[in-house]
Structure 1
Amino acid sequence: MKLEKEIQFILAVDALKNVQRRNYNADDSRRENTAEHSWQIVILAQILYPYAKNKESVDLLRVIRMLSIHDLVEIHAGDTFLFDEQGMQGKFDREKEAAQKIFGILDEPLRSDFYNLWIEFEEETTADAIFACAIDRIMPFILNSNTSGKSWTEASVREGQIRNMLENAIKRASDEMGEAFDILLQKSIDAGLLLP
């Protein structure tokens, strides 16, 4: 059958629905899974695209493609909590191996196309990747700052960690997103969701 590899791939990526993240849904009722996160950031990218710096250099379709596939590596590598310093060690190597495995199900040229999009996202050097990474990082931040911040409080996340891991990535992508980050960060600090 002509579409055999594509069907195998789409069945394999169904496993993303089973990858639990540290972040909670907006109603604080349960942790989200990575498939839900991926869907939400694809929507968010479309909403925030008008605020991208150098918008004329950002290809929204490429951003959406990056966001839709960049977390597929979590099927094999798991979700690494951004603020888990120990867990972050070796993350890229684990995920690179996972990317080769999951995208390896596909034939060329799609195999290389997806893998190269994933690498571009990870390297954060193109306008598309910079914007995509900002979207990926701001969504959990928005959820935490507008709820009880459970994933932060459970892990004793500090304000400095938020600034180190998120601030530059968000602000270099969009002035307006940077302004929203500052406001929501202060709101989270005032609410006691972050350690000093």
Structure 2
Amino acid sequence: MDGLDKKLQAQLAFLIEIDKLKLVERKTKLIHENRLENVAEHSWHIALLAIVLHTYADQPVQLDKVIQTLLIHDIVEIDAGDTFAYDTSGYADKEEREQKAADRIFGLLPEEQAKQMMEVWYEFERNESAEAKFATSLDRLQPIIHNYMNDGDSWQTYQVTSEQVKERMKGVEGSSKKLWELTQYIINDSIESGKLMK
């Protein structure tokens, strides 16, 4: 690739590097197969959730920005790994690990693109805009849909309680009334059916 201009070389280096996201496993199993989901699959799925469900956002959102946010926000997990939502000890150094990863991975891009992606990532992490808040809601909703559909597999494997799930899902309430109703339905039905511990 030495014959290519430096900007295109940098962009290709980034695109090749982010393929590693397919290797990072999450703790949630797929709905239709007995294996763990990887982070790239998760990112793709929540981007589609945004396309299908964006009309339920309580505040108007720019769909393209929500999708961009959802596709970018977990790229840092190539280096930082996926921190399981209910792993409190994993959160102790999560911010530091992810910042270091963001600097390295986004730093592969040409300066202007690196800056743009970093800004999108920061906005999501700080939950600063209607788009970031809605993206966060979808990021949290998708795993509970998976757990609901696969009989609470990761909830049971990691002994997650309904109180933990309710606490984790609070952000949905302020972002979308309709998706909050869905969240409550899934939690309540999961408790009643024994998929989720009380």
Tell me the TM-score normalised to structure 1 length.
0.96
Residues of 1 paired with 2:85 and 2:32: CA distance?
Answer: 21
Aligned twin of 2:31: 26
**Equivalent residue pairs, number:** 193
Residues of 1 paired with 2:50 and 2:20: CA distance?
Answer: 23
Quote the offset at 1:28 in angstroms. 4.5
Residues of 2 paired with 1:100 and 1:161: CA distance?
Answer: 32
Aligned twin of 1:141: 144
Residues of 2 paired with 1:78 and 1:17: CA distance?
Answer: 12
Residues of 2 paired with 1:165 and 1:89: CA distance?
Answer: 17
After TM superposition, the structure 1 = structure 2 runs for residues 90-129 of structure 1, keeping only pairs within 5 Å, are 90-129=93-132
Aligned twin of 2:186: 184
What secondary structure, in the 3-state scheme, does the structure 1 residue paired with 2:196 have?
coil
Tell me the TM-score normalised to structure 2 length.
0.95
Residues of 2 paired with 1:28 and 1:171: CA distance?
Answer: 30
Structure 2: which 5+ runs fail to align?
A: none
Quote the offset at 1:108 in angstroms. 1.6
Q: C-alpha offsets along residues 20-63 of structure 1, whole Å, 9 cap, x if unaligned? A: 110000025110100000100000001110110112xx111111
Aligned twin of 1:82: 85
What secondary structure, in the 3-state scheme, does the structure 1 residue paired with 2:28 have?
strand
Aligned twin of 2:55: 50
The two structures, once aligned, show a CA RMSD in angstroms of 0.9
Residues of 1 paired with 2:14 and 2:136: CA distance?
Answer: 24
Runs of 4+ with deviation above 6 angstroms = none
Q: C-alpha offsets along residues 49-82 of structure 1, whole Å, 9 cap, x if unaligned? A: 0110112xx1111111010011100000000000
Quote the offset at 1:97 in angstroms. 1.1
Deviates more, 1:76-85 or 1:91-100: 91-100
One-letter code of the match for 2:128?
T
